[in-house]
Amino acid sequence: MLIGTAVVGATTMIFATIVALTHGLQPQFIQNLSLMHAPFLLGIIAGGAVIYWFTGASAQAVTTGAYRAVEFIKRNIKLEGVEKASVADSKKVVAICTQYAQKGMLNIFLTVFFATLAFAFLEPFFFVGYLISIALFGLYQAIFMANAGGAWDNAKKVVETELRAKGTDLHAATVVGDTVGDPFKDTSSVALNPIIKFTTLFGLLAVSLAVNLSQKHGSGLTTVLAAVFFVISMFFVYRSFYGMRIESER
């Protein structure tokens, strides 16, 4: 499983980050890796929130792209006849899907990029909690979405092949379930793998930079930068949902 390799790699990177921030695991710094240390606890909460935002945003991008492609097919391609769709129309459908995939990917990447910078610059042990949470929540969310999506997909196949119930209300219900299952198992769950890897690898570099800046210029600079990065990330969070939503044509 790809998600397993991501978590194994993340564990190594997180431990390297902890060793660096605690100056070789010195006890006076280790005590900050506790739920009693408020920034660490808040970092865990923030990491979980980012994972659930990501799964929603990636599913939204797939849904919007599919909806726009279906709209185009309904307007321009006759599905009832025997005549094949033109090459130009087929290319247009691919272009629509590609456009929304790239648009969704851009919003998601920039959110993750700037959120990682913001949390790294905010407080080092907040960021450690964030990384741990990204790995743990990401692992179990990926397993859940892959299994749930596969179950929905297989339910439709069972109804079609074993029960031979095509055209029934049962089959219609499983088709609806499969439209949710496909983004679950083919998009959100597998895409958590690079999210975990990128966040932990880039995070190690970002928190090292933040600590160096804080030592040279004081914590005021890093706090201001964290606020700026966070506002930028929230802008792309907004775009990931409201910029990708399906609006009715007037």
Q: What is the pLDDT along the chain (250 residues), one digit of tens a residue?
A: 678 888 888 999 999 999 999 989 999 899 999 999 999 999 999 999 999 999 999 988 888 888 888 888 888 887 776 677 788 888 899 999 888 888 889 999 999 999 999 999 999 999 999 999 999 999 999 999 999 999 999 999 899 989 888 889 999 999 988 888 888 988 899 999 999 999 999 999 999 999 999 999 988 999 999 999 999 999 999 999 888 877 765 4
How far is the first Cα of the chain from the last one, in angstroms, to the nearest whole number?
A: 45
Q: Is residue 248 part of a domain?
A: no
- Identify the three-state secondary structure at position 37: coil
Q: In the numeric block, which tokens belong to residue 23?
A: 């100056």
- The pLDDT value recorded for residue 130 is 97
Q: Note the pTM of the prediction, 2 decimals.
A: 0.89
Q: Is residue 250 part of a domain?
A: no
Query: Domain range spanning residue 60?
Result: 2-242
Q: Is residue 179 part of a domain?
A: yes
- The pLDDT value recorded for residue 248 is 64
Torsion sign, CA atoms 90, 92, 96, 102: positive
Measured in whole angstroms, the distance separating CA 161 from the mean position of its chain's CA atoms is 34
- The pLDDT value recorded for residue 1 is 60
Q: Is residue 247 part of a domain?
A: no
Q: Is residue 249 part of a domain?
A: no
CB 152 within 8 A of CB 134: no
CB atoms within 10 A of CB 15: 11
What's the structural domain count of the chain? Answer: 1
Q: Is residue 162 part of a domain?
A: yes
> In Å, how far are 21, 125, 223 from 210, measured between CA atoms?
11, 12, 10
Measured in whole angstroms, the distance separating CA 196 from the mean position of its chain's CA atoms is 9
Q: Tokens 């980050």 label which residue?
A: 17
The alpha-carbon radius of gyration of the chain (Å, integer) is: 22
Amino acid at 128: V
